[in-house]
Chain A
Amino acid sequence: MRILLVEDDPEVCRFVAKGLREAGHVVDPVDTARDGLFLAASESYDVIVLDRMLPGGMDGLRLVETLRATGSRVPVLFLSALAQVDERVRGLKAGGDDYLTKPFAFAELLARIEALGRRSRGEAPLTRLAAGDLEMDLLARTVRRSGQAIDLKPREFRLLEVLLRHAGQVVTRTMLLEAVWDYHFDPQTNVIDVHVSRLRQKVDRGFAYPLIHTVRNAGYMLRAEG
């Protein structure tokens, strides 16, 4: 994917650009909204990662508003230290598609960027998901592994579905809470871990190799080969 990164903090900028390049993306980093707007208007990007507070009189919100006024629909992810709900709402109202607050885990940023990129490519709705010997039929709501039917409760099904849709990518606990439970808070105890371990009991136990992996300090990843 081609990603425009507008971030004035050189440390964060270098860190994000390096990580995204390592993940196989092309990154154009700029440090002012003016440069960002110029590039966004003249080049074609899959995703724009945008800081809210930028130097030079123009902030991230203005950039998005201006960009949207020109008819551009390129997905925008806000990356900001402004964490309050009304700040998030302002960002999304201005035309942003996602909002991640600093400090953040790089894995989460990557996962969200890739999700946005996929959305913008407008892939046809899937009816079947698969990874390795695991198959999920979204219409019949059934799951099979090595041809053997696995009986899942609705929440477990949804959890596995989210992991499968992001197969090969890290999915953070926050993302799982949002996607499966529609909760936008972090519980005191990591209840997600218990749900995932329960899912593992059904999906991985007794099979040749594990599919659900824990990624330290980040979250979970479903991938077919160890």
Chain B
Amino acid sequence: MRTAEPREDKGQGEPSWRLIRSIGFRIAALHAALMALSAGGLIAVLWWNTAGYLDREVERGLRGDLAEFRAHHRAGGLAALAAAIETRIAEDADTESVFLLLDAAGAKRAGNLDAWPPFLGPETEAGEGPLTRDGIETTVRLRVLFLADGARMLVGRDVGARRQLQALVADSLVYGLALAVVLAASGGVLVAQVLARRTAPLLATAAAIGEGNLARRVPLSGNDDEFDRLAKSFNGMLDRIAELMEGVRQVSNAIAHDLRTPIARTRSGLEAILRGATEAEELKSGIERGIEELDRVIALFQALLRIAEIESGARQSAFAPFDLAQAAEDAAALYEPLAEAKAIRLEIKAPAALPVVGDRDLIAQAVANLLDNATKFTPAGGTIQLSVAAGEGWADVAVTDSGPGMTEAERRRAAERFYRAEASRSSPGFGLGLALVKAVAALHGGTITLSNRSNAPGLVATLRLPMRPLPRHSIRSLDPTHHV
């Protein structure tokens, strides 16, 4: 039952508003219907227990009287019956009861009525109608008893007062029901209005974002209710999108700069050779330099594509159990000669085995990148520590160097693509190492944390992986100051 036509959804603002209105309307209608239903139920019960009770009492009394008088007639005939009626009339203090006994000829033998009431036909057994008693217009309920000797009698009760009471009850109930429906409808309208008011900021923000104002966020009411939670997750999504957009912007900037530079260099180098080189040897070495430059561009491309591939999550299918301690030690063995060549000590602290589930090749590359950075920044004679440790549900691979460390601002930006800290400008590299580590960590549902050593200069890079496989992006660091 849709009141808004989805096919007409071309603009963004107006149809959404109509949808909200229709939801509000439906809530109001449902609310009113439920209220009316419950009020109706209440009224039915009330009626049964009040007006219905009065009617049932009258009927019971009439049936009792009839049985009694039938017994008198059976015992003593018409005379006994007439006597019994006169006794009852004499005893009846509140004059509520009505009696009339006619013999077979139609003559009155006993009773406090003068004539058979006109609204009862000759054959009718029961009925209700108006009657004038002692000059007062009232309503009576009657039952007729046809006797074997042709005589007939009627027994009745004056129900005028009861009928008035019932009318009163009925009136109150109708007014009550009307009031309930009105209240329910206004409650529904109120709910619809609140709904519209609370969704308005969300819609306004979405519209602003749609128009390109990406910095807009949904204001929170501070009640921490459903709408605030919706707004929070909406804002979280917008932050994530902004983060990704920023990443794309960085990458395109970087491509503009970091990729254009070597290509331009290669081009001018080749041009210079074409113009100037005369010796075959000179040509050959010039072309070799050109190929070297192009290889750098290719390597940069591959590094970028690999990060993109990891971030897309496509590699999660390659997850398998492997020994993290062994993988870390293997990576260290790969870097050990490089460290030794720079007179750096490479210390390894790892348990005998630490089984985890993940992509061994990617973890190895991540650890290799951390070791690569550490070797770059550690001065000759320094130390690099690689430690593998298992915590509660976590496995940590930490690489500690004795280099200059990083400032807070550098640590925050370290994992951006192409970001290179001041100290690394002179060393070779693209500035993609930590970006890849971060992507690998995220793929495994883990984190990469950078911090300075507390007691000595140097940086600690900790790659933390969950011990059980988790879905991608299920864990995102909420504290942006230290996680990168």
Chain A residues engaging chain B, CB cutoff 8 angstroms: 83-86, 103, 105, 155, 181, 183-189, 191, 194-195, 198, 216-217
Contacts and interface: CB of A to CB of B under 8 A. Distances in A.
Contacts of A155: 333
Contacts of B333: 155
Interface of B: 288, 291-292, 294-295, 298-299, 302-303, 305-306, 309, 314-315, 317-318, 330, 333-335, 337-338, 341, 361-362, 364-365, 368-369, 372, 375-376, 428-430, 432-433
A216 B365 CA distance: 25
A85 B318 contact: yes
B338 A191 contact: yes
A216 B288 contact: yes
A83 B308 CA distance: 12
13 contacts: A84-B305, A84-B309, A85-B315, A85-B318, A86-B317, A181-B330, A183-B368, A185-B364, A191-B368, A194-B337, A195-B334, A195-B337, A217-B292
Given A83-B305, A86-B314, A181 B361 contact: no
4 A-B pairs closest in CB distance:
A194-B337, A185-B365, A188-B372, A194-B338
A148 B429 CA distance: 41
Contacts of A194: 337-338, 341
A184 B365 CA distance: 9
Nearest to B369: A188
Given A181-B334, A186-B303, A189-B372, 7 more contacts: A85-B315, A105-B295, A183-B334, A183-B365, A184-B361, A188-B429, A194-B337
Nearest to A105: B295
A185 B309 CA distance: 13
B63 to A, nearest CB: 90
Nearest to A177: B334
Contacts of A195: 334, 337
B298 A191 contact: no
A45 B188 CA distance: 81
A217 B291 CA distance: 7
A183 B315 contact: no
A183 B364 contact: yes
A103 B291 CA distance: 12
Given A85-B315, A181-B330, A186 B335 contact: no
A153 to B, nearest CB: 9
B296 to A, nearest CB: 11
Residue from B306, B318, B368 whose CB has the most chain A CB atoms within 10 Å:
B368
Given A183-B361, A186-B299, A191 B309 contact: no
Contact of A189 (B309, B338, B365): B338
A152 to B, nearest CB: 13
A172 to B, nearest CB: 11
Nearest to B375: A189
A213 to B, nearest CB: 15
Contacts of B294: 103
A5 B174 CA distance: 94
A12 to B, nearest CB: 15
Most buried by B among A186, A189, A195, A216: A189
A155 B329 CA distance: 13
A90 B461 CA distance: 36
Contacts of B334: 181, 183, 187, 191, 195
Contacts of B368: 183, 185, 187-188, 191
A185 B361 CA distance: 8
A137 to B, nearest CB: 24
A186 B330 contact: no
Nearest to A216: B288
Nearest to B360: A182
A50 to B, nearest CB: 21
A105 to B, nearest CB: 8
Contacts of A84: 305, 309, 314
B369 A83 contact: no
Contacts of A186: 299, 302-303
A216 B368 CA distance: 25
B291 to A, nearest CB: 5
Given A86-B314, A188-B369, A103 B298 contact: yes
B372 A185 contact: no
A184 B333 CA distance: 16
Nearest to A180: B334
B361 A191 contact: no
B311 to A, nearest CB: 12
Contacts of A183: 334, 361, 364-365, 368
Nearest to B290: A217
